[in-house]
Amino acid sequence: MYNSIHNTLIIGKNIIYLPSCHSTNDIAAELVHKGLAEEGTVVITDNQVGGRGQRGTKWYSEPGQNLTFSFILKPVFLPIAQQFLISQTIALAIFDFLSAYTDQVKIKWPNDIYVSGKKISGTSIENSIQGTIISSTVIGIGINIKQIDFPSSRMTSLAAVLGREVSLHDAFEQLIKMLDRRYEDLMSMTKNGTIHAEYLTKLHGYQQPITFNYQNKMIKGSVTGVADNGRILVLFDGEQDIRDFGLKEIEWVWDN
């Protein structure tokens, strides 16, 4: 069981624990739809059988080994044109959490988190728009904590990185506090520029040479920024014009 966290402003005061479920995102979205969701409500499970990442990709997690949860926000204060700030805020919070354990953390656009070139966390964000406001946001997070065996050599966990186990309950409480702190920054609406600038400094490939897979060709280049709408800005070697890409339009090639 996971207990409510009382020393936060919004996130984690109401915890819904399910031993097993198809998707915490679906359950959180249903709570929103029925008008039963307090802002900050967390739905967490030990066994998510239908977890998904961005654009419907599957998130694989062994039962009882990792953190798989969703939470509900109501960022009505944020202009729709700036909704990618939610993604940046969440990525920075997970970065904060992992950086307490290792200095090898990087954000991979838009909000995956990698440690030493291996994926350790994924995030799914589903915004609901009503008129001119973001009425609600359901954020699903999967972060590998204790699992050791993975279907891909490009995946890792805190236990694999540290060579020791980490308590799921302790990790959950630490992460929720960091998510809450970062969301408080976003709510202030005075730190938007700082959030964006910090996100860029922690982004893999920002102003650094990396390899991309674009239209089945390996191309060198660098990330020059991220647009307000979340599209990644890339300058390929030998070109003068910066291109912008959405999800699934370009892939990163890891050199190690």
- Cα dihedral 232, 224, 143, 70, rounded to 10, equals -40
- pLDDT tens digits, residue range 177-204? 999 999 999 999 999 999 999 999 999 9
Residue 105 pLDDT exceeds 70: yes
What integer pLDDT is reported at residue 55 of this predicted model? 47
Residue 160 pLDDT exceeds 90: yes
Do β-strands 133-143 and 217-226 pair in parallel, antiparallel, or remain unpaired?
A: unpaired
Lowest-confidence pick of 58-67, 80-89, 231-240: 58-67
Across 18-25, average pLDDT = 94
Mean per-residue pLDDT of the chain: 94
What integer pLDDT is reported at residue 49 of this predicted model? 84
Helix (H) or strand (E) holding 184: helix 168-188
Residue 174 pLDDT exceeds 90: yes
How far is the C-alpha of 219 from the C-alpha of 217, rounded, in Å? 6
Across 151-166, average pLDDT = 95
What integer pLDDT is reported at residue 184 of this predicted model? 98
Residue 59 pLDDT exceeds 70: no
Q: State the CB neighbour count (10 A cutoff) for residue 125.
A: 20
> Is the whole model's pTM more than 0.85, yes or no?
yes
What integer pLDDT is reported at residue 3 of this predicted model? 87
pLDDT band at 233 (very low <50, low <70, confident <90, very high): very high
Angle at CA 70, nearest 5°, toward 68 and 76? 160
What integer pLDDT is reported at residue 58 of this predicted model? 60
